[in-house]
């Protein structure tokens, strides 16, 4: 009998092109997603060495980080952002790479459009010069972020030099209590294992609470694997996955669908497969979570308080905590729901999908954003925006006083005009609360779309279950 294998082991083995004596592997890449920030130097590298893109047909490019979320007919005001996007447009022309332009309805955040277009499928290897490539792992695809030198390597060779990761399994079993979302699951996991908890590992999320999630929810969980230190997250493909993929523009067509399905069904981890690390979480114990500090592991139940550094035994942790609270302008012991916010951002590759917007709209319906709060809703793609508008979500948001924007990364990293001013505090559905992430001196509290909508209305961090 062959040794039981994990989902990761199977995908890895299926993509080995060459293995060196020391265990360094050359693996084949099925899909390469390209965006404007991490690709210019890679294309430049190709040009300098006279190389071509080996498989432009397996590559797709889109501009998302720098694009304005306001009226685009006027072009891009910031000259550097404009140059970066024009450079991408020149590069895709020169190298024959397919591209969704800014006025294409399919344009959006790279990690939203891959799944939406059916480019992300089970069993694949998917890379992008972007750490949140882990999102695509929700389909049972091995998907991870790479640096620009590796982007160039994939462009030139359609392969990557890698060593296999270790296997880690996080099992979340049981029924999720009402009002607890995929975002809360992943924030709770990061709070528990820390931002280096998954380093060197690929995390496979398993258990009935994970299986009960929609594809959108699974993407939210896998998205933040990188915040848990893992390069990739994985969820075994199942009927939910196949139903989502079927009929999408780049999904296997009739005639090939059955063969693909048969292969995908062989992918889930074998019974008895061994993991290097195992974590088990009881779903019934989970509650809505929010971050209070400047690392995604600085997380607490929304019913909790700002922690006291004096009670931290480890000196390195204590000084990090003191620094975080000083930066965040928070006093130990403050009730989190007493923390007043200035802005709300609903969007990003973590929570910018249709289901996220529905959830936020469900809370916003018939209510009003607090007078001192500016609240932005930024759909993850043009198609998400269209769908939301068909469902009338834009009206709900606009009536409640939210701003309804064009798709892109927006205030998740504030490379475009959407950003926090120094000292401003934001309830954000994105994935990083690092110092300065949403604008120099800006203060970020990570939360679910439900909590973000509830907080916009309350004007403070708010428990969505009470809204």
Partner 1 sequence: MQKFDKLTGVAAPLAMINVDTDMIIPKQHLKTIKRTGLGKALFDEMRYEADGSEKPDFVLNQPAYRKAQILVAGANFGCGSSREHAPWALLDFGIRCILAPSFADIFHNNCFKNGILPIPLPQETIDKLMDDARKGANAQLTIDLETQEIVRPDGEVIKFRIDDFRRHCLLNGLDDIGLTMQKGGDVDSYEARQKTAQPWLAMAQD
**196-225 positions binding partner 1, by CB under 8 A:** 196, 199-200
Interface size with partner 1, residues (CB under 8 A) = 85
* Integer Cα distance of 267 and 22 in angstroms: 27
Q: Measure the CA–CA gap between 445 and 197, rounded to whole angstroms.
A: 21
Residue 250 per-residue DSSP state? T
Residue 85 makes contact with ligand SF4 by CB under 6 A: no
Q: Does 164 bind partner 1 (CB under 8 A)?
A: no
Helix axes 182-193, 215-223, angle to 10 degrees: 20
**C-alpha span between 289 and 304 (Å, rounded):** 9
By the rule CB under 6 A, 437 interacts with ligand SF4: no
Which one, 235 or 409, has the nearer CB to ligand SF4?
409
Residue 431 as a binder of ligand SF4 (CB under 6 A): the answer is yes
* Beta strands per DSSP E along 109-255: 125-128, 142-145, 159-162, 166-173, 201-206, 232-234
By CB under 6 A, residue 430 contacts ligand SF4: yes
What is the DSSP-derived secondary structure letter of residue 183?
Answer: H
Contact window for partner 1 (CB under 8 A) among 139-147, 180-188, 357-365, 395-403: 139-147
Q: Sheet harboring 142-145: ordered strands across?
A: 99-100, 59-62, 31-35, 125-128, 142-145
What is the DSSP-derived secondary structure letter of residue 407? S
HEC letters along 340-397: ECCEEEECHHHHCCHHHHHHHHHHHCCCCCCCCCEEEECCCEHHHHHHHHHCCHHHHH
Restricting to residues 290-329, name those near partner 1 by CB under 8 A. 295, 316-317, 319-320, 323
Which one, 211 or 257, has the nearer CB to partner 1? 257
Stretch in the footprint of ligand SF4 (CB under 6 A) among 100-108, 136-144, 291-299, 408-416: 408-416
CB of 454 to ligand SF4, least distance (A): 22
Verify binding: residue 7, ligand SF4, rule CB under 6 A. no
- Of ligand SF4, partner 1, none, which one does residue 241 interact with (CB within 5 to 8 Å by kind)? none
CB of 412 to ligand SF4, least distance (A): 3
Cβ closest to partner 1, residue 142 vs residue 458:
142
| Cα(110)–Cα(86) distance, integer angstroms | 17
| Chain residues 104-163 in contact with ligand SF4, contact rule CB under 6 A | 109, 111, 130, 132
Short-list 312, 334, 309, CA closest to 323: 309
User: Can residue 413 be called a binding residue for ligand SF4 (CB under 6 A)?
Assistant: yes
Total chain residues near ligand SF4 (CB under 6 A): 13
By the 8 A CB rule, do 429 and 448 touch? Answer: yes
By CB under 6 A, is residue 452 in contact with ligand SF4?
Answer: no
Distance CA 411, CA 413 (A): 5
Pairwise CA distance, residues 297 & 124, whole Å:
30
Answer yes or no whether residue 349 interacts with ligand SF4 by CB under 6 A.
yes
Is residue 122 close enough to count as binding partner 1 by CB under 8 A?
A: no
Binding residues for ligand SF4, rule: CB under 6 A, are 64-65, 109, 111, 130, 132, 348-349, 409, 412-413, 430-431
């Amino acid at each position: 009998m062959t040794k039981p294998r994990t989902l990761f082991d199977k995908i890895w083995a299926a993509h080995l092109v060459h293995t060196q004596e020391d265990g360094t592997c050359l693996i084949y890449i099925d899909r390469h997603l390209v965006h404007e920030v991490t690709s210019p130097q890679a294309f430049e590298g190709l040009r300098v060495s006279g190389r071509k893109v080996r498989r432009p047909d397996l590559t797709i490019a889109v501009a998302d980080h720098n694009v304005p979320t306001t009226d685009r007919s006027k072009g891009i005001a910031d000259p550097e952002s404009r140059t970066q996007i024009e450079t991408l447009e020149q590069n895709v022309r020169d190298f024959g790479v397919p591209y969704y332009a800014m006025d294409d309805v399919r344009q959006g955040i790279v990690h939203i459009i891959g799944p939406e277009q059916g480019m992300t499928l089970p069993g694949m290897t998917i890379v992008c010069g972007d750490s949140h490539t882990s999102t695509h792992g929700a389909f049972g695809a091995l998907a991870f972020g790479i640096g620009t030198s590796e982007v160039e390597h994939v462009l030139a060779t359609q392969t990557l030099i890698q060593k296999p990761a270790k296997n880690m399994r996080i099992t979340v079993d049981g029924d999720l209590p009402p009002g607890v979302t995929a975002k809360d699951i992943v924030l709770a996991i990061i709070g528990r294992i820390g931002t280096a908890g998954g380093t060197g590992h690929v995390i496979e999320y398993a258990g009935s609470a994970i299986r009960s999630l929609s594809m959108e929810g699974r993407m939210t969980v896998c998205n933040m694997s990188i915040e848990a230190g893992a390069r990739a997250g994985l969820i075994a493909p199942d009927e939910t996955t196949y139903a989502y993929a079927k009929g999408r523009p780049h999904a296997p067509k009739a005639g090939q669908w059955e063969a693909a399905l048969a292969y995908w069904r062989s992918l889930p981890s074998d019974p008895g497969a061994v993991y290097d690390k195992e974590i088990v979480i009881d779903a019934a114990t989970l509650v809505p979570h929010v971050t209070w500090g400047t690392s995604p592991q600085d997380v607490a139940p929304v019913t909790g308080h700002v922690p006291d550094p004096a009670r931290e035994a480890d000196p390195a942790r204590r000084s990090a905590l003191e620094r975080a609270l000083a930066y965040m302008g928070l006093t130990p012991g403050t009730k989190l729901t007493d923390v007043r916010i200035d802005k709300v951002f609903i969007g990003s590759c973590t929570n910018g999908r249709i289901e996220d917007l529905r959830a936020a709209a469900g809370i916003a319906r018939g209510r009003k954003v607090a007078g001192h709060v500016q609240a932005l809703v930024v759909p993850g793609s043009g198609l998400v925006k269209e769908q939301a508008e068909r469902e009338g979500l834009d009206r709900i948001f606009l009536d409640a006083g939210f701003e309804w924007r064009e798709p892109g990364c927006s205030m998740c990293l504030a490379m475009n005009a959407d950003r926090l001013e120094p000292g401003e505090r934001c309830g954000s559905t994105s994935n990083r609360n690092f110092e300065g992430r949403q604008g120099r001196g800006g203060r970020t509290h990570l939360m679910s779309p439900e909590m973000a909508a509830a907080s916009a209305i309350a004007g403070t961090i708010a428990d969505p279950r009470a809204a």
